[in-house]
Amino acid sequence: MTGPLGKDLLALEPLTAEQINLVLDTAEPFKEISERAIKKVPTLRGATIVNLFFEASTRTRISFEFAEKRLSADTVNVAASGSSVQKGETLVDTARNLEAMRIDMVVIRHGASGAAQFLADRIESNVINAGDGTHEHPTQGLLDLLTLRDHFGNLAGVKVCICGDVLHSRVARSNIWGLKKLGAEVAVCGPRSLMPNAIDELGVTVLHRIEDAIQWADALNILRLQLERMTAGYIPSLREYNRVFGVTRERLDRAPKDVLILHPGPMNRGVEIDSDVADGPHSVILDQVTNGVAIRMAVLYLLAGGNPKLAEAAKGALA
């Protein structure tokens, strides 16, 4: 028995437009649950979900935990620090030991690209990729799509430019796949040193001046400079980066129209984005965070529907 998304959610690259739209549509009624005084429905009562976060996270880890709790699942959080991973236990051994305690789903964030797929191939539980190295961050891509859809209604023909450190960004990859499948026009903008060599193969327009991106776009998704992944001198200095590529109020004021501002967080204020833009009238950065809970509830719900052990509980939960 397999649900509409399959056993796992590992990436947006293999999903169809129909599957992506299904997640977005499923998230709509879940938004309302978070607005209630009592933010809880019994959809996943009895399910046990482990959040394995081997890299730092605020938004993704906490919103998955809120999503699980609002669906009444039992949740356990495991970090590398304080677990037997520190003693050298492998990822698969950790997951198999958790399965021996009869879990149903694993949400994993890991520094290695492919870690979520590696785990999904080796355990029976549903696996959700919460960000693997520089590969993909599918639920971030989905929440960005939902936020854009909330604003533009339909993504067909909407011009979205992904700006900054594309080289190290799993968010960029998930956004590019998702946006293109839903018919958006996609560009990337950043220094040549922070563009992947194979960027042309992704079917996006490449811009090298932030002024050109701002002129072109309906929406900018501004990426964090991932200083912790930079092993060489990719940029002269943070000050220079802000001077040449920073999204500033002065630059936006010269745009022919209002440009919607997204950022997946965490932000380097004063580097890739100035505070008056991040907190300005066209910013939907906190709407992205709000939508993150609904998207994660939708993904958990849809995967549970294909899990024989959980399907009965999930059935009719939105009725």
- Indicate the residue among 178 and 264 with the shorter CB distance to ligand CP: 264
Q: Which C-beta is closer to ligand CP: that of 103 or that of 142?
A: 142
Collapsing DSSP to helix, strand or coil, 103 comes out as: coil
Nearer Cβ to ligand CP (204/295): 295
Asked whether the beta carbons of 163 and 190 are under 8 A apart, the reply is yes
* Cβ atoms of residues 314 and 289 within 8 Å: no
Of the residues 26, 60, 75, 147, which is catalytic?
60
Residue 81-120 contact track with ligand CP, rule CB under 6 A, x = bound: ----------------------------------------
In whole angstroms, give the CA distance from residue 57 to residue 174: 18
> Does 48 qualify as catalytic in the annotation?
no
Q: Which stretch binds ligand CP (CB under 6 A): 51-59, 64-72, 144-152, 178-186?
A: 51-59
139 catalytic residue (yes or no): no
Strand stretches in 5-114, DSSP E? 48-53, 74-79, 105-110
**Are the beta carbons of 161 and 216 closer than 8 angstroms?**
yes
- Give bridge partners of residue 136 from the DSSP assignment: 132
Q: Can you tell me the distance from the alpha carbon of 98 to that of 75, in angstroms, rounded to the nearest whole number?
A: 12
Q: Is-catalytic flag, 96?
A: no
3 state DSSP class of 92: helix
Binding mask 241-280 toward ligand CP (x if CB under 6 A, else -) reads -----------------------xxx--------------
Q: Tell me which of 31, 45, 59, 151 binds ligand CP, using CB under 6 A.
A: 59
Is there binding between residue 58 and ligand CP (CB under 6 A)? yes
Ranges within 131-160 binding ligand CP (CB under 6 A): 131, 137, 140
d(CA 132, CA 110): 5
| Nearest Cα to Cα of residue 44 among 294, 314, 307 | 314
**Chain residues in the site for ligand CP (CB under 6 A):** 57-61, 131, 137, 140, 264-266
> Which residues does the annotation mark as catalytic?
59-60, 87, 109, 137
